[in-house]
Amino acid sequence: MGSPSTDAAGSIDVPLRRVIESGLCGTNPMHPAVVQGDVVLTYGELLTKSRELAAKLTSGTGPVLISKPRGVESLTEMVGCILAERPFVPVTPDSVIDPATLPDTPDGCGYLLTTSGTSGEPKVVVGSRSGLARYLQWQQAELALDPSDVVSNTADPWFDFSFKETLGALVAGATITVTPAAALAGGTTLLTWLAERQPTMVCLLPSMLARLVTAMDRADPTTVRSATERLRRLLVSGEPFPQPLLKRWRTHAPYPVVINLYGPTESTVIKLRHVLPVGAEVHTAIVPVGTPIPGT
């Protein structure tokens, strides 16, 4: 099950299960994997729980619905599906999707996501295990996360935006800190939460970043400093990123590397990225989406 293969370019295609297991097994089992409020799930606990679930899932076939929002439970279920090599289908808790109505999943299917698509018509996107594995390996090579990192999780699992926050963190042995819904209610609440949790990597939509920066404009400098002093990377995606917003952000946080990312759901998380190191300037109205990531 899940043995390595070689793609057309001659590079080794590592199975998704092994990519995830390498992070889980290679990290101190007592190190926090997920922090959600007062709940802390260690890497050892996550590995045990997800393997127990995988053992149950291997007796069945077909996609597995995951109807919980971001957090310990949904992530454990997602990892269990990956270890069992069963496609997972993250849906909203009030979803009425019938698994019997889902399309047939081809060999190598890793997940299914529902999306409105560019036409506005609802459809189901099939994501491959190999595509997700390649993306996660690219992200780790690009960002070089490690167990000292704390990654915010602002997106729910039915958005592939969340994969870089959750699965990408697990590959690196980093800690995921789950952003509560109350913290995302506005810029001030998000700023307060960031000052408390002090993540090293944050992923935000430009619209949410704009609310955060507005809150920073009005906040006590001590709060802003607490929210940004450990931050090393800001990942922005999901919407066009205005250049004036980048400039406003950097008046408060000049040192984190900013990375603008782009990719439709059909593309396995991300297709393009534009990296802005400290001091890099942008002379266009919208921050460029950059160049393709390798293998896409």
Who contacts 22 (Cβ-Cβ below 8 Å, separation ≥6)? 171
Distance, in Å, from the CA atom of 184 to the CA atom of 9, rounded to the nearest integer, reads 42
Domains (ranges, CATH) in the chain?
A: 5-130 (3.40.50.980), 131-292 (3.40.50.980)
Q: How confident is the model at residue 263 (pLDDT cuts 50, 70, 90)?
A: confident
Alpha helix stretches (DSSP H) within 184-285: 187-197, 206-218, 221-228, 243-252
Q: Give which of 133, 198, 195, 196 is closest to 170, Cα–Cα.
A: 133
pLDDT in the model for residue 14: 92
Does the pLDDT of residue 142 top 90, yes or no? yes
pLDDT in the model for residue 8: 37
Mean pLDDT of 259-283: 90
Does the pLDDT of residue 54 top 50, yes or no? yes
Does the pLDDT of residue 3 top 80, yes or no? no
* Span 183-232, pLDDT tens digits: 999 999 999 999 999 999 999 999 999 999 999 999 999 999 999 999 99
Mean pLDDT of 248-260: 97
What does the mean pLDDT of the chain come to? 92
Q: Which residue has the tokens 């995830």?
A: 20
Distance, in Å, from the CA atom of 272 to the CA atom of 294, rounded to the nearest integer, reads 9
Mean pLDDT of 124-149: 94
Does the pLDDT of residue 11 top 50, yes or no? no
Judge whether 203 and 165 are in contact, CB under 8 Å.
yes
Q: What percent of the chain has pLDDT over 90?
A: 79
More confident residue, 176 or 293: 176
More confident residue, 120 or 213: 213
Q: How confident is the model at residue 105 (pLDDT cuts 50, 70, 90)?
A: confident
Report the DSSP beta bridge partners of residue 123.
Answer: 115
